[in-house]
Structures are given as C-alpha cells and as structure tokens.
Amino acid sequence: MTKIFIDPGHGGRDPGAVANGLQEKALVLDIALRMRNMLLNEYEGVQVRMSRDKDVFVSLEERARMANSWGADYFVSVHINAGGGTGFESFVHTSQASRTVALRNVVHDEIIRALSGVRDRGKKVANFAVLRLTRMPAILTENLFVDHVQDASRLKDPNFLSRIARGHAEGIAKAFGLRKKQQQQQSSTSQSTSTATSGNVMYRVVTGSFRDRENAERRVAELKKAGFESFIDVYRP
C-alpha cells in the first residue's frame, strides 16, 4: 500500500491568498478532493488521507504530525500563488534529500504536461514548515497566481482545476509506480467500443450483438462517426 497524504493549504480563518474574487483555501480544497478521488478510483494499492477535507483551520505543525503519525509515504501540499507572476512552480525542502528530489522531478513534469500553456517557473527549494517537519519525502506545489488576471480566469474554470488535480494524480502514480485499475464496462446497447492492451493481453469491449447484419453495420457506422474504431465479428451463439 502506498500512503499518500494530501495537504490542501490554509483553511478556516486562514484564507490564504485572496484576489479576483478567489480564495486560495477554497481552490486548493477543490483540487485536493479531485486528486483524492482520482487516486482512489483509478489506481490500485493506494491509500489517501488529507490534512483537511473541509473549510477548517489546521496548524502547520498539526499537518506534519498527522502525516508522520500515519507513516505516509508522500506528503503533497497544494497551494495557489500570489504576489505578482504567472504559472506553476514546486518546492522541496532545502536539504534536498535525493529521493525527495527524484520524486519531485517526476511529479513536477507531469503537472506541467497536464497544464500545457502554463509557464513553468521551475523546481525550487524552500525552508517551508510542512517540508521541514515531515519525515517522509514532501512536495509543495504553487498552482498559478490568484492575483494574475489570466491565471485567475483559469482558476475559475472547474475543468482547469481538474487538470491541476490530474497532473498531481498522474505524477504521484508515475513516481510511485501505481497501477491503474482495470476498467470494467457494463454491456449495453449504446456503449462505445475500445480495445485496451496491457502487457500481452488484449481486452475487447463488445458494443452489441445483432441478428440482422444491417443493424450491425448501422451500429458500426454510428461508432465510426463518433470517432470509435469498430468492426463486425461474426459468430454463432
């Protein structure tokens, strides 16, 4: 089991950065909850705990204590920047432990990939309390600037918050070698077809069975129109 501790910054009486009608504490909680769901729903062998899952104040020492006493494998603190600038940057502690740096490099690059078009401000170090007090590898991410007009308009889009979460989740999965859960699709007459490969095994998804060839061809035409590769396989039930 890989234990991932997600730490949405600020909360309660501490709103974090505030500008353009946005509050850091609400944005990072939204991103963190999306991350948790992605990790738990899509990956095997992972446990997630959070320093907060609602709008409450938690001290920096308490955040680190929770992760330490749980024995987390990774501590991920999520923040939004302010103070003039644009883009994404990540931090590890100034001690720069080699495993911490290696994990950060993977996670940082996946987030940048998920946020195409956003400026990469770089991989940085800082003596932040949560990075200093945690006993496991830790990263702190600063995801765009609330006080930058274009960044703020991106942060107002739930799809963009989902992309931030996606970058974090995929970065964590890659860094820790988490395996994707097998996708299970229910058979129904209107589902799409797809074939996924995993190693040397192939999984075929059947979208429908028809007694009449014409109906089968109509379904194939519909799927192709929708962008799904498909073909007719004849069999005798």
Q: Which of the ranges 10-18, 67-75, 127-135, 229-237 carries the binding residues for Zn ion, by CB under 5 A? A: 10-18
From candidates 8, 9, 11, 137, binder to Zn ion by CB under 5 A: 9
CB closer to Zn ion, 10 vs 154: 10
Q: How far is the CB of 14 from Zn ion (least distance, A)?
A: 9
Please list the helix, strand and coil fractions of the chain in percent, rounded to the nearest 5, in that order: 40, 25, 40
Q: Name the token pair of 181.
A: 């859960």
From the list 84, 83, 100, the residue with the least C-alpha distance to 140 is 100
Name 211's Cβ contacts closer than 8 Å, sequence gap at least 6: none
CB closer to Zn ion, 72 vs 146: 146
Binding of residue 16 to Zn ion (CB under 5 A)? yes
> In angstroms, what CA-CA distances link 103 with 40, 99, 168, 224, 227?
20, 6, 12, 41, 37
Site for Zn ion in 64-93 (CB under 5 A): 79
| Full DSSP string of 166-185 | HHHHHHHHHHHTPPBPPP--
Instruction: Using CB under 5 A, count the residues that bind Zn ion.
Output: 3
Cα separation, 114 vs 185, in Å, equals 26
Q: Taking CB positions, which residue lies at the least distance from Zn ion?
A: 79
Query: Looking at 62, 142, 217, 229, which residue is catalytic?
Result: 142
Residue 142 known to be catalytic: yes
Return the bridge partners of 14, or none. 11
Site for Zn ion in 186-215 (CB under 5 A): none
Q: How far is the CB of 6 from Zn ion (least distance, A)?
A: 14
Q: Which of the ranges 8-16, 40-48, 108-116, 157-165 carries the binding residues for Zn ion, by CB under 5 A? A: 8-16
Q: How far is the CB of 12 from Zn ion (least distance, A)?
A: 14
Q: Name the token pair of 199.
A: 């190693």
Q: How far is the CB of 138 from Zn ion (least distance, A)?
A: 15
Cα separation, 219 vs 230, in Å, equals 9
Catalytic machinery residues: 142
Chain contacts with Zn ion (rule: CB under 5 A)? 9, 16, 79
